[in-house]
Amino acid sequence: MGSLGYKSAMVDLSHHINAKSKARHPSPLKDIIKFMGYDGMVSFAGGLPHPSLFPLDQAKFECLSPAASLTADRHSDGQNKDDVLGLTFGRGSSIGDLDLTQFLQYGSGAGNRQLLDLAKELTERVHSPPYEYECLLHPGNTNAWAKVVGLLCEDDDYILVEEFTYPSAQALWIPLGVKAVPVAADAAGMMAKNLRNILMHWDERDRGARRPRVLYLVSVGSNPTGITISKERRREIYDICVEFDIIIVEDDPYYFLQYPSYGSSVETSSIPKPIPEFLNTLVPTFLSMDTQGRVIRLDSFSKTLFPGLRLGYFVAHPVFTERLLRATEVETQDPAGLSQAFVLGLLRKWGVDGYLTWLQNLQLQYRTRRDWLLDAFHAHFDIVPAEKSPVPQAQGLVACIKSAHDGQVKQPVFSFVDPGAGMFVWCKFYFDGVERFMQIEGAANNRDPEQDFANELWQAWATELVLLTPGSYYHAWQGPEKMTTSARGADPRTAHFRFSFATPTNEEINSGVERLAKVIGRYWG
Amino acid sequence: MGSLGYKSAMVDLSHHINAKSKARHPSPLKDIIKFMGYDGMVSFAGGLPHPSLFPLDQAKFECLSPAASLTADRHSDGQNKDDVLGLTFGRGSSIGDLDLTQFLQYGSGAGNRQLLDLAKELTERVHSPPYEYECLLHPGNTNAWAKVVGLLCEDDDYILVEEFTYPSAQALWIPLGVKAVPVAADAAGMMAKNLRNILMHWDERDRGARRPRVLYLVSVGSNPTGITISKERRREIYDICVEFDIIIVEDDPYYFLQYPSYGSSVETSSIPKPIPEFLNTLVPTFLSMDTQGRVIRLDSFSKTLFPGLRLGYFVAHPVFTERLLRATEVETQDPAGLSQAFVLGLLRKWGVDGYLTWLQNLQLQYRTRRDWLLDAFHAHFDIVPAEKSPVPQAQGLVACIKSAHDGQVKQPVFSFVDPGAGMFVWCKFYFDGVERFMQIEGAANNRDPEQDFANELWQAWATELVLLTPGSYYHAWQGPEKMTTSARGADPRTAHFRFSFATPTNEEINSGVERLAKVIGRYWG
């Protein structure tokens, strides 16, 4: 790990590695491995089972080609022949597209070398990071994040997160006594000035913990908010992270699911675009602007191929990947072999260009679904721009009760930002003036009327056979004393719900929003 | 989790769950999942990608049948047709042996329900545990052990282990400040009276930590010692664990690789035996005698099918599996889907009886390899029973320099116990009287002459193109001040090496042992 050949002068970031991670030692067995390759060596040193005794000789996969026509109701048996592509993996190098044997055996922890090379090629192509990074396979972003917490966080630390954040990421660190420091966002993502304020005025005594060192972000199509951090905002956030020595963990499963805005004139018929043109439409990642190696990027095939693979990869500074590899050796070992073989075989057959074509194909599918949901919003509500709405502090668009006559004062129900990526629309509901809410709020001993009314609303929707995810699931965890709407400092008389548009059909979406509007009509009157 | 239906009165073991594991909360999303199944429900609540957009339509596997003839040099293309069996997995329930769709999607954390049922069926059949246990899938025993440490151990705890233990298991907990308490073993395994002594005389002040609560065992064909704990010894150890409230972690990947003793008259032609007869030859597990639910069993398909699956399962008390599931949700999620599908498909096609037949087939293969190694020992050394050898304190058999004449005093080199299971032979070398060793020992400032000479010997072997694993890799970690032979309290003028017989051919084994003997001849003179 000399300094020669580095694309950019890296700063020393090793002080970010926590005490437990520092205490990991490489397995002494590694010393032996280099001898094993000697010609004529008889090794009694390995502990591996004999590959001739693995009861799998051949695997064949029938896959889609990158530009296959996708429809929600497609059936594999009715698939157009041009859309289908076969992969055959045998035992031995001469059989099929890939020698399966190595994937059936124990691996080294880092993952298959050729798959890592492909991950690097893809990383160069898409992000072209300005420093000398390394890639390391992992079994999905859930585990990757667990390993990063194990690498960077001490017990009782604070972690910087978006105001509304992914609950499983939090659930991992809550038992460590770690708390979130939520940073407010607007439609362009986390607000850099708020981030800076928090860091500048951090009071160790008051907070009872050192200044945060980790910023966790789902920076494209965030779950739950659907927000993508803009290029300019990213630049500002990165600079603040340099100033305050913060490591950015870029958990980015939705990166390739970025869409033109709803109702825009961008033609779907121009798909697939030439690859460079496609890549140009994507917001630059934090990794792509990282001159210091302080971004740890979590990449995953869960949303782009399928989640059951449990396969993705870290892109990070070698000082971090080396420690992550030590953790991998004792915590998980290599990701599953059939997953590695499948992805390597598929990406080789498709080529990196083919994969990037597939991603455009996928992008169009999810964009269409996003449009279905927003179409339904327009069909069942009056949609007005926030600044022209009765809630001028709202962002994006406001859905109001559909009025019979133009010119009538519109009654706002919820605001939302057209999600430029991902699978979610995040809606902020306004309860002010809703009779039932005012009743709950007026009752004695009411700890959290917003949450109580949100629960009632959720139940009323479920009774009408439509399910949303309550926004409370995504509140940044600031400790048990900061759970109510007022204690969190959230806007009074509001609450959030998350819509996912990934799964239902157009018809389901439309009738779901219709049912929703019916219940809303009852409450908003 | 009512008390009705439990096979045996369980004791309350919840105090074994550590503070961090206690602090895990179930995901609130679970509350929603029960609504999702309602007829006609439109769900905007899920966050799953759409299964029609997964680019895998069909998977076909060519597998071996349970009684396939196995040889080390078999080629998949030259396989006898009767030995081959196909599995086809399609999308949709009508296509092939299994509907692939569910395995491509995110899972629940616990693993596929049908695969769990099979794990239970197998557990009942083989272990018939006397209490009401649960099964939970995990991605391999490495991760399973990491989760168990995360469940039971506090920082700076002590863990009870065999005197020589699996290094990766230790490497996991060394960074937590956890230390090992090694318990001495004889040929029947860990000595119960030593275990009892340690627990009875545990001095919290002196040790600086509470009495150990966890006993980690590879109780069949232990890595590295090859020792299998006898049935009687297991009973004694279990009773001590009840007396001192210890949780037994039974890491048992080699359970089905148990062999008749070397040179015994048990015929190989009687394979496969009827299943009950086969099961009767296997030593009863700790799980099978666990009336209280204090055994956490780690089962794995790595040694019985192949390691690349990264798939196994916990068998444990529901109070533990519930917490392990919470950890699974945020640390790893379900094991990889293709692995789950493959194992479910294969075990269904084979049947549980077929799997137990396959295991006998496998057992014979590894037994043959064990015999090859012991044959080579007999060919290149004079093997005498320990009690008739010049090192009467030795156990099992002693390999001596081959003497030209009968009746000559034999010079002992190493002792070993015929491994009744697993993949390893553990050899204790005797350096007393070896000129080069005495020279090293006599030199000034010699911290660990045994280790120094063992290193020199290892290098000399490697130069002659034969590799062993140094015994030092397997020393129980008692802290940096207890690393030398004398500080560990090990027998002076001895050191261990581990032989693995799993991989080399008969010819390689024979020439490897010949090379070894040549170097030994030079040193032992």
Asked if B296 and B247 count as a contact pair (C-beta separation under 8 A), the reply is yes
> Where does the pLDDT of residue A452 fall: very low under 50, low under 70, confident under 90, or very high at 90 and above?
very high
Kindly state whether A424 is in contact with chain B, defined as any CB-CB distance less than 8 angstroms: yes
Would B82 be classed as within a structural domain?
no
Query: Could you write out the three-class secondary structure of A443-502?
Result: CCCCCCHHHHHHHHHHHHHHHCCEECEEHHHHECCCCCCCCCCCCCCCCCCEEEEEEECC
Q: Based on the domain organization, do B391 and B275 belong to the same domain?
A: no
Q: Give the C-alpha distances (Å, rounded to integers) separating A384 from A391, A497, B406.
A: 10, 19, 104
What pLDDT is attached to residue A25? 87
Which of B38, B53, B143, B501 to probe by mutation at the A interface, max A CB count within 10 Å? B53
Phi-psi label, residue B332: left if phi above 0, alpha if psi -120 to 50, beta otherwise: alpha
Q: Give the C-alpha distances (Å, rounded to integers) separating B316 from A82, A204, B282.
A: 50, 43, 21
Chain B, window 369-398: residues with a beta carbon less than 8 angstroms from a chain A beta carbon? 369, 373
Phi, psi of B403 (to 5 degrees): -100, 145
Total domains in chain B come to 2
Kindly state whether A510 is in contact with chain B, defined as any CB-CB distance less than 8 angstroms: no
> Where does the pLDDT of residue B76 fall: very low under 50, low under 70, confident under 90, or very high at 90 and above?
low
Would B15 be classed as within a structural domain?
no
Task: Determine what percent of chain B falls in helix, strand and coil, rounding each to the nearest 5.
Answer: 40, 20, 40
A24, β-bridge pairs: none
Kindly state whether B362 is in contact with chain A, defined as any CB-CB distance less than 8 angstroms: yes
Q: Based on the domain organization, do B274 and B190 belong to the same domain?
A: yes
> Where does the pLDDT of residue B37 fall: very low under 50, low under 70, confident under 90, or very high at 90 and above?
confident
Contact A331 B469 (CB under 8 A): no
Q: Which residue of B has its CA nearest to A373?
A: B44
Would A52 be classed as within a structural domain?
no
Chain B, window 324-353: residues with a beta carbon less than 8 angstroms from a chain A beta carbon? 329-340, 342, 346
What pLDDT is attached to residue A33? 79
Kindly state whether A92 is in contact with chain B, defined as any CB-CB distance less than 8 angstroms: yes
Q: Based on the domain organization, do B262 and B351 belong to the same domain?
A: yes
Would A117 be classed as within a structural domain?
yes
What pLDDT is attached to residue A1? 37
Tokens of A295: 């971004």
Contact A61 B56 (CB under 8 A): yes
Would B125 be classed as within a structural domain?
yes
To the nearest whole Å, the CA of B422 is away from the closest chain A CA by: 10
* pLDDT tens digits for range B415-468: 999 999 999 999 999 999 999 999 999 998 889 999 999 999 999 999 999 999
Q: Based on the domain organization, do A256 and A396 belong to the same domain?
A: no
To the nearest whole Å, the CA of A407 is away from the closest chain B CA by: 32
> Where does the pLDDT of residue B73 fall: very low under 50, low under 70, confident under 90, or very high at 90 and above?
low
What's the rounded Cα separation, in Å, for the pair B475 and B487? 12
Tokens of B167: 């290094």
Phi-psi label, residue A186: left if phi above 0, alpha if psi -120 to 50, beta otherwise: beta
All residues of chain B having their beta carbon less than 8 Å from the beta carbon of residue A340 are: 308
Q: Based on the domain organization, do B417 and B443 belong to the same domain?
A: yes
| pLDDT at A168 exceeding the cut of 70 | yes
Rg (CA), chain A: 25
Would A486 be classed as within a structural domain?
yes
Question: Span A341-361, mean pLDDT?
Answer: 97
Strand A84-90 relative to strand A98-99, pairing: parallel
Which H or E run includes A361?
helix A337-380
What's the rounded Cα separation, in Å, for the pair B296 and B286? 9
Q: Which residue of A has its CA nearest to B172?
A: A330
What pLDDT is attached to residue B324? 98
* pLDDT tens digits for range A402-442: 987 766 778 999 999 999 999 999 999 999 999 999 999 99
Chain B, window 231-260: residues with a beta carbon less than 8 angstroms from a chain A beta carbon? none
DSSP-derived 3-state class of residue B360? helix
Q: Based on the domain organization, do A431 and A285 belong to the same domain?
A: no
Which of A20, A42, A343, A355 to probe by mutation at the B interface, max B CB count within 10 Å? A42
DSSP-derived 3-state class of residue B38? coil
Asked if A68 and A83 count as a contact pair (C-beta separation under 8 A), the reply is yes
Which of A301, A331, A364 is the last residue before a domain boundary? A364
Residues near A27 by Cβ (< 8 Å), separated by ≥ 6?
A: A329, B167, B168, B171
Structural domain for A497, as ranges: 381-524
> Where does the pLDDT of residue B374 fall: very low under 50, low under 70, confident under 90, or very high at 90 and above?
very high
Q: Which residue of B has its CA nearest to A108?
A: B308
Would B402 be classed as within a structural domain?
yes
Closest CA to B330 of A383, A408, A169, A10: A169
| pLDDT at B338 exceeding the cut of 90 | yes
Contact A142 B333 (CB under 8 A): yes
What's the rounded Cα separation, in Å, for the pair A477 and A495? 16
What pLDDT is attached to residue A74? 67
Q: Which residue of A has its CA nearest to B36?
A: A467
If one compares B24 and A69, the residue with the highest pLDDT of the two is B24
Q: Which contacts (CB < 8 Å, 24+ apart) does range B487-492 have?
A: B490/B450, B491/B428, B492/B450
Q: Based on the domain organization, do B515 and B448 belong to the same domain?
A: yes
* pLDDT tens digits for range B462-498: 999 999 999 999 999 999 999 999 999 999 999 999 9
To the nearest whole Å, the CA of A452 is away from the closest chain B CA by: 16
Q: Based on the domain organization, do A352 and A452 belong to the same domain?
A: no
Q: Based on the domain organization, do B393 and B352 belong to the same domain?
A: no
Of A167, A306, A365, nearest to B56 by CB-CB distance is A306
Q: Based on the domain organization, do A353 and A476 belong to the same domain?
A: no
Of B19, B338, B501, nearest to A338 by CB-CB distance is B338
| pLDDT at B336 exceeding the cut of 70 | yes
B525, β-bridge pairs: none
Closest CA to A300 of A255, A258, A361: A255
Question: Span A213-231, mean pLDDT?
Answer: 97
Query: Could you write out the three-class secondary structure of A95-128?
Result: CECEECHHHHCCCCCCCCHHHHHHHHHHHHHHCC
Question: Span A340-344, mean pLDDT?
Answer: 98
Closest CA to B12 of B245, B212, B248, B214: B245
What's the rounded Cα separation, in Å, for the pair A58 and B77? 10
Q: Based on the domain organization, do B309 and B164 belong to the same domain?
A: yes
> Where does the pLDDT of residue B93 fall: very low under 50, low under 70, confident under 90, or very high at 90 and above?
confident
Kindly state whether A354 is in contact with chain B, defined as any CB-CB distance less than 8 angstroms: no
Tokens of B237: 């150890």
Contact B76 A57 (CB under 8 A): yes
Residues near A375 by Cβ (< 8 Å), separated by ≥ 6?
A: A510
Contact B503 A46 (CB under 8 A): yes
- Domain containing residue A515: CATH number: 3.90.1150
DSSP-derived 3-state class of residue A512? helix
What pLDDT is attached to residue B118? 97
Closest CA to A374 of A430, A419, A422: A419
Which of B364, B399, B419 is the last residue before a domain boundary? B364
Strand A466-467 relative to strand B42-43, pairing: parallel
Q: Based on the domain organization, do A143 and A221 belong to the same domain?
A: yes
What pLDDT is attached to residue A439? 96
Question: Span A248-271, mean pLDDT?
Answer: 87
Would A48 be classed as within a structural domain?
no
Question: Span B17-28, mean pLDDT?
Answer: 90
What's the rounded Cα separation, in Å, for the pair A436 and A425? 25
> Where does the pLDDT of residue B71 fall: very low under 50, low under 70, confident under 90, or very high at 90 and above?
confident
Q: What is the torsion angle, in degrees rounded to the nearest 10, for the CA atoms of residue A348, residue A351, residue A355 and residue A358? A: -110
Mean pLDDT over all residues of chain A?
93
Which of A316, A332, A364 is the last residue before a domain boundary? A364
- Domain containing residue A182: CATH number: 3.40.640.10
Residues near B278 by Cβ (< 8 Å), separated by ≥ 6?
A: B272, B356, B359, B360
Q: How many CB pairs under 8 A join A and B?
A: 385
| pLDDT at B320 exceeding the cut of 70 | yes
